Structure 1
Amino acid sequence: MSRDVRVTAADISRLGDVGRAAVSNWRRRHDDFPQPVGGTATSPVFSLNEIKEWLLSHSEGRELPLREWLWQDLRASTAEEELPDLIAGLGAFLIHLDDTEDWASLSALDDAALAAALAVRIKPDISGSLIVARVPLVRQLADLAKRDGAAATFAFLRDRYFELHTKRTYATPKAVAQLIAALSNPSASTALDPACGSGTLLKALRDRPDGKVKHLLGQDIDEAAARLTEVHLALQGCEAEIQNGDSLRRPAFPGMTVDAVVGNPPFNDRAWGYEELAADPRWEFGLPPRTESELAWAQHALSYLGPGGTAVLLMPPAASNRRAGRRIRAQLIRRGVLRAVITLPLGSIPNMAVALNLWVLRKPHDSRTPSHVLMIDTSGCPEVFVQVASAAWGRFDGGDEVGEPTISRAVPAIDLLDDEVDLTPARYLSASTEDISPERVNDQRERMADLLRGAASMIPAVESAVETTNELSLVPLAELERRGMLTIEHQRLVKSGEASEAPDGVAVVMPEDVIDDRTPTGAISTTPVKHEIVVRPGDVLVPHLVHRPVARVASGGDGGVAGALLGPRISLLRVDPDKLDPCFVAGFVAGSVNARNFVTSAGSRAQVDVRRAGVPLLPIEEQRRYGEAFRRLAEFETSLRRAAALGDDLVQLISDGLTQGGVRPATDSEKGAR
């Protein structure tokens, strides 16, 4: 029985093969366009059946995207909780379709006979999900697979499912997956990922140029993810066995050894099983503390390795230096298991506020204990970090000297075994002396002086006022919105079961971008926002959680946020410029006198309720005078921030030059010459 599921504007744009703006135009221009059946005014949802009927009647002969229609038909054909089983069953059909040539004869059968024939032929069994009513979907799927290929067709359905359930799984970025594969045991034929998610790391191993990895094993705590990943890998030509379950509590392959383990396991998980696993034999290097789930995963990976086998795991930087884990880290070094720690560039793993590390672990194959550990920091080469790290590891693993002390260094194990056992690579790498010269230092000094002189000229002139700010009558922004003088917009992230209305590939303004007055750092791929709210020049942006109130006026051009999408936890104030000056509004919203009206405590930060903030209603010309002063203050603040950053760089530059021999203190005669 078909369900009438609900679809968003983003779904409709895909079904109609048009942009989201076209859907908005349809709603305005066509009186017969279906009315929303739920949602909100800014994020309505519609009846799929009504939308399909409308699109078919208005397609005007255009070819509509078959796979989008198939996806929505799948959603309508089964309950939400049964959808992954149906997709996995259809994937099994695609495997059968790809392996045999008898579809022509099978497709001639009526629906009942075809359902019965497929239920007998296909493994894993899908007889429970492939009822007669769904056979038309199978026929559509076969047509689509004939056009696009079985693997691509299933990948599309799987990706759509994971989009619908954004918290179900996480795909490691392709570049990081390729680096992990390059660092893994070069002679491996069997590999395991104990937290495999979508199978990206296993697929990267299988795709290595050497082609040696033949058998893939995986486990994931999410049953739907495990099943869909197994079918996906099978359609990609991989010999894969993926099991469902908690890898730490219930390992799926006990007693088995593999040549390589890869993983992007959960971080900071205090419920990993500390109590029930206290006596587990896997803790060969020490019982992981409750706060060190990452060290539990590292030892779990090592328990699967045969002699000479390699494990490459993504780890948070805290796992390298937390005091609670120092004894286990020390044991990994003393016994020659830890072979390398690699810092990845910030942003190489989306939606992470810190730069993650890769740990390379190897099960010793003889009694000799390695004397060095490789430390690599690729944070300064984000465009080529895969090549830099894999090349340095190749030289180190081959016994050659690693000769780039600013990026990579073979550190004696004894140097790591102090009281902290800190494995942070940057601690053991030296700054480059090539660019430290008197000319560069003097250039930085001149830039600093110019910046400070320019900043001083930005301070606005003021005079005594008859009335004080405290005596100005403040009108809440909520009241100004009711009067039509401004509008207040808010953003939220896409929730499970929703689709974003925002276009792909557009930058997203994050709260930190507003606080630090910098270009947007977010993206739809890492911050899937719900609404398409585009920031315009003159909009006032107010972050919700700050150390002190902040309000910035959006600007365009290089370095501006105008044109980007509004991110979460930010209020956007869009003023009527004939009634309110945006710099005037921003200045009063961020003022400390006004802050008591709309700021509440939230730990070490302040929580902002911008609707309660107030501004005085002055004549527009008077507002613009105030606004110009606030604008110059904002520029002065920006210059001070740049000066502070440049000053930090200058201090470090001179310090490095003096300590490394690039420069020396000037003599009295040289000082006089300057």
Structure 2
Amino acid sequence: MGDFADVLVSRSDIARMAGVRRPAVTNWQRRHSDFPAPVDAGQGSTEPDAFRAGDVLEWLSGRTVPSNALRPEELPGVTYGDRFRAAIGGGDRAGGFRHAVERLARQEADALRGRLNTVEFLYLLLHLVYVRSRQQQRWSSYVADPVTVLQDVDLPRAAEVPLDRLVGALNGSPPPPQDEGRETFDGLLALLQDFDARTAAEFFTPASVSRVMARALATHSASVRRLHDPFCRTGELLTGYLDAVAVRGARAPQEVSGRAAYERALQLTRMNLVLRGVERPDVQPGFWTPSSGPADPPAAFDAVITNPPFALRLDPSVAPQDYWRYGVSRSGDFDWLQYVVTRLTEAGRAAVLMGAGAGFRGGFEGKARARMVQDGVVTCVMALPPGLFARTSIPTQIWFLRAPRGRAEPILFVDGGALGSMASRTRRVLTDDNVDDLVRAYESWTSRGVADQPGLARAAGLEEIEQHDFRLDPALYVKRDTLLDGSADPAETRGRLARLAEELERLREQADNVDRLARERLRRYGL
């Protein structure tokens, strides 16, 4: 950030250029120990504190503008650093490519998408951003003959997209630096999620959830050589992990791999990883449940991070699997959990996003949970608030796992069910402070054995967990407030709501499968 090394700014300057109110800057400084320190003005000075603009820019570049605070021309994923850079005079030096893409995706979209709907147009833009950023020879062929784009993107000619104008608009800016290309791609992915909640439910892990999973798992990054996601959506969890490792100054994994259940997810994951500097990501066709194969090698990965489909039911004809270490499964959730555990190396760790029902349902799942606890594979269960996903209100949990220990050990329970703020009438997001609190609770436990944080985190041993019939709902172990006489137990209420939400989720999955088949057939006929 050396462009502004000699420029000094006040708190009011920071607020104005970052587009926030003045008290927000004071709050940042008070809550975050890594906020830049003011320049020493000398003993007895009465001048307001001044900060080096380069230090401020670097700090703000790590803080994303919430979706409900975006300006009309801004893509999701823009940072306060982007605003600060443009306001202080860096707009001409950096960000030109990103601004061009923002115009195409927003103000000029209706004039340029032809007969494509907005979602299909954003997929096309994602491909063009990737090629412009990473494949200059291929880009040159697009400039020479824009129709060649159709060879790489599954678009019917009847779409009537003015490819010459699109390619020309992006060719007006030089190839973006790696950071800008990556940030532009991320912004389009976030915009895609906002525009198409139906597709978002299939594809996306909410950004704030990705940050919690990735940052927590990255606390074990020192020994990670192989990183894997067996159910990639757009690669957001893999790239989130790589970003978290980079922030920690740790060594990136030598091998990054994944599987994706359908072609579009496969393509987006590969592009996303390459833009993060992974030259040869190993992303292969995958499965909706591990028992439908193909399987990855056992004990192969040092870190696994994944958001598999929730609450699927296995066909009764599925044969018992070698990795069903904790019993025969007819539940997609425990098919996934057992699969992940058996893919870990001896020192391996995993973060798996699950519907909350996996933590309390009975029958086989209750027996499987008991065996997993007794084998020491569950290190932490972290409850997240409802409303984080675009099309479902199912409460979710992050299960942090490790390779079998052969003995029960205490489990950390983190109850974040009351966290977050409403980004819209129906969508909740975890704030940056929420993310920090959840990750800090996890790292305090795994690195120092410190667990008790009243109202947020607490560890429980085997005897207490057994008293709760091996239910792993954090609300059972972390008490937010003392209940009034006759009031409902929040854990029981949450369980009932989760069961209803899961039934709705199963019906939604059936409807989505029908919709997906219909879209594929219509696309074949150019409709």
TM-score of the superposed pair, with normalisation by structure 1: 0.45
The 8 Å contact of residues 191 and 213 in structure 1, kept in 2 or not, is answered as no
- Cα separation, 2, equivalents of 1:177 and 1:338: 20
The whole-number CA distance in structure 1 between the counterparts of 2:434 and 2:126 is 36
Verify the 8 A CA contact 1:311 1:362 in the aligned structure 2: yes
Is 1:391 aligned with 2:422?
Answer: no
- One of 126, 135, 154 as aligned partner of 2:152: 126
| Alignment CA distance shift 1:70-1:233 (3 Å) | farther
Helix, strand or coil: the match of 2:379? strand
Q: Which residue of 2 aligns with 1:191?
A: 227
The separation in 2 between residues aligned to 1:92 and 1:430, in whole angstroms, is: 47
In the TM superposition, residue 306 of structure 1 has moved relative to its aligned partner by 1.0
1:206–1:238 contact (8 Å) kept in structure 2: no
Q: What SS is found at the alignment partner of 1:167?
A: helix
Counterpart CA distance in 1 for 2:118 and 2:385 is 38
Q: 1:411–1:428: 8 Å Cα contact kept in structure 2?
A: yes
Q: Choose the corresponding residue for 1:417, options 446, 454, 466.
A: 466
**Distance in structure 1 (CA, Å) of the matches to 2:273 and 2:374:** 38
Q: Give yes or no for contact 1:308–1:363 (8 Å, CA) kept in 2.
A: yes
The corresponding residue for 1:404 is: 453
Matches within 5 A, 1:128-277: 134=163, 137-144=166-173, 146=175, 149-155=180-186, 165-169=196-200, 170-184=203-217, 185-187=220-222, 188-208=224-244, 209-210=247-248, 211-214=250-253, 215-239=255-279, 240-248=281-289, 249-251=292-294, 253-254=296-297, 257-270=300-313, 273-277=314-318
Q: Which amino acid aligns with 1:142?
A: N
Q: Please name the residue that 1:309 is paired with.
A: 348
Quote how far apart the aligned CAs of 1:396 are. 2.2
Q: CA 1:275–1:135 in structure 2 vs 1: closer, same or farther (change >3 Å)?
A: farther
Q: Which amino acid aligns with 1:183?
A: A
Residue 76 in 1 paired to residue 99 in 2?
A: no
Kept in 1, the 8 Å contact 2:451–2:458? The answer is: yes
Q: 2-side partners of 1:150 and 1:394: how far apart?
A: 32
- 1:192 CA displacement: 1.9
Which SS does the other structure have where 2:256 is aligned?
Answer: strand
Going from structure 1 to structure 2, the CA distance change for 1:73 and 1:322 (only over 3 Å counts) comes to same
Is 2:388 the counterpart of 1:345? no
Distance 1:346 1:96, change over 3 A: closer
Q: Which amino acid aligns with 1:195?
A: F
Quickly say closer, same or farther: Cα 1:331–1:111, change in 2 above 3 A: same
Compare the two structures and name the one with the higher helix fraction: 2
User: Against the structure 1 CA distance between its residues 250 and 80, is the aligned structure 2 distance closer, same or farther, given a 3 Å change threshold?
Assistant: farther
Equivalent residue number for residue 29 of structure 1: none
Q: How far 1:251 moved relative to its partner?
A: 3.6
Cα distance in 1 for residues equivalent to 2:319 and 2:295: 19
Gap change, CA 1:329 and 1:138, over 3 Å in 2: same
Q: Deviations over 1:250-303 (max 9, x none)?
A: 347445721111222221222xx43343322121111223xx321111112223
Provide, for residues 314-358 of structure 1, a one-character-per-residue CA deviation record: whole Å limited to 9, x for no partner.
Answer: 222221111121110011011110111112234455655354222
**Residue 376 (structure 2) pairs with residue 336 (structure 1):** yes
* Residue of 282, 287, 296 corresponding to 2:328: 287
| Letter of the structure 2 residue corresponding to residue 257 of structure 1 | A
* Corresponding residue number in structure 2 for 1:322: 361
TM-superposition CA deviations, 1:14-37 (whole Å, max 9, x none): xx989xxxxxxxxxxxxxxxxxxx
Instruction: Give percent identity, aligned residues only.
Output: 24
Shift in Å, 1:212:
3.1
Kindly indicate whether residue 375 of structure 2 is the aligned counterpart of residue 375 of structure 1.
no
What are the ranges of 5 or more consecutive residues in structure 2 without an aligned counterpart?
A: 1-71, 75-101, 421-430, 485-527
1:496-539: CA deviation from partner (whole Å, max 9, x where unpaired): xxxxxxxxxxxxxxxxxxxxxxxxxxxxxxxxxxxxxxxxxxxx
Superimposed CA distance per residue, residues 31-87 of structure 1 (whole angstroms, 9 cap, x where no aligned partner): xxxxxxxxxxxxxxxxxxxxxxxxxxxxxxxxx944557755764388999978855
**8 Å CA contact 1:89, 1:130 repeated in 2:** no
CA change 1:96–1:65 in 2 (3 A) is: closer
**Structure ID, larger Rg:** 1
2-side partners of 1:115 and 1:314: how far apart?
41
Question: What is the alpha-carbon distance in structure 1 between the residues aligned to residue 299 and residue 360 of structure 2?
Answer: 32
> Aligned with 1:168: secondary structure?
helix
TM-fit CA distance, 1:135: 5.5
* Cα gap change, 1:377 to 1:75, in 2 (>3 Å): same
Alignment length (residue pairs): 358
User: Conserved in 2, the CA contact under 8 Å of 1:378 and 1:388?
Assistant: no
Q: How does 1:104-119 map to 2 (within 5 A)?
A: 106=140, 111-112=144-145
CA distance in structure 1 between the partners assigned to 2:114 and 2:299 by the alignment: 42
For residue 307 of structure 1, report the CA deviation from its aligned partner.
1.1
Deviation at 1:223, TM superposition (A): 1.8
In the superposition, the TM-score normalised over structure 2's length comes to 0.57
Per-residue deviation at 1:180?
0.8
- The answer (yes or no) to whether the contact 1:85–1:129 under 8 Å persists in 2 is no
SS at match of 2:199: coil
Distance 1:80 1:381 in 2: 32
Structure-2 change in CA distance of 1:333 and 1:385 (3 Å)? same
1:73–1:155 distance in 2 versus 1, CA, 3 Å? farther
Look up the SS of the partner of 1:259 in the other structure. Answer: strand
Contact 1:326/1:421 (CA < 8 Å) preserved in 2? yes
Deviation for aligned residue 1:428: 2.2
Kindly provide the CA deviation profile for residues 567-607 of structure 1, in whole angstroms up to 9, marking residues without a partner as x: xxxxxxxxxxxxxxxxxxxxxxxxxxxxxxxxxxxxxxxxx
1:408-447, aligned counterparts within 5 Å?
408-418=457-467, 420-430=469-479
TM-align CA RMSD: 4.3
Deviations 1:439-491 (A, max 9, x none): xx9xxxxxxxxxxxxxxxxxxxxxxxxxxxxxxxxxxxxxxxxxxxxxxxxxx
Give the whole-Å Cα distance in 2 for the aligned partners of 1:159 and 1:399: 36
SS in structure 1 at match of 2:305:
strand
Q: Map residues 255-654 of structure 1 onto 2, 5 A cutoff.
A: 257-270=300-313, 273-289=314-330, 292-324=331-363, 325-349=365-389, 352-364=392-404, 369-382=407-420, 384-418=433-467, 420-430=469-479
| Mapped partners of 2:376, 2:214: distance in 1 | 21
Q: Is the 8 A contact 1:344 1:355 kept in 2?
A: yes
Q: Could you say which residue in structure 1 is the equivalent of 2:83?
A: none
Residues in 2 aligned to 1:310 and 1:412: alpha-carbon distance in whole angstroms: 20
Q: Tell me: higher relative CO, structure 1 or 2? Use CA pairs within 8 A at least 6 residues apart.
A: 2
CA contact (8 A) 1:219 1:247 kept: no
2:480 and 2:126 map into 1 onto residues whose CA distance is: 52
Task: Summarize the Cα distance change of 1:76–1:428 in structure 2 as closer, same or farther, 3 Å threshold.
Answer: same
Distance 2:382 2:288 in 1: 25
CA shift digits 1:118-155 (9 cap, x unpaired)? 99xxxxx8399899995554333322565794335545
Which whole-Å CA distance do the structure 2 matches of 1:425 and 1:294 have between them? Answer: 18
Structure 1: which amino acid aligns with 2:461? P
